[in-house]
Amino acid sequence: MIGINIYLALIAIATLLSTYRVFRGPTTVDRLVAVDIMTTITTGLMVLFALYYGRMIYISVALVYALLAFGGVIAFARYLEGGL
Give the pLDDT confidence of 21-37 residue by residue, as tens digits.
999 989 988 999 999 99
Query: In the predicted model, is pLDDT for residue 83 greater than 80?
Result: no
- Give the separation between CA 84 and CA 77, rounded to whole angstroms: 9
The angle formed by the CA atoms of residues 76, 82 and 83, to the nearest 5 degrees, is 80
Q: What are phi and psi of 59, to 5 degrees?
A: -70, -40
Query: In the predicted model, is pLDDT for residue 84 greater than 70?
Result: no
Give the pLDDT confidence of 11-24 residue by residue, as tens digits.
999 999 999 999 99
Q: What are phi and psi of 45, to 5 degrees?
A: -65, -40
CB-based contact 45:61 (threshold 8 Å): no
Cα 46 to Cα 12, 41, 67, 82, distances in angstroms? 14, 9, 14, 33
- pLDDT value of residue 15: 93
Domains of the chain, CATH where assigned: 1-81 (1.10.287)
What pTM was estimated for this model as a whole? 0.84
Give the pLDDT confidence of 39-60 residue by residue, as tens digits.
999 999 999 989 889 999 999 9
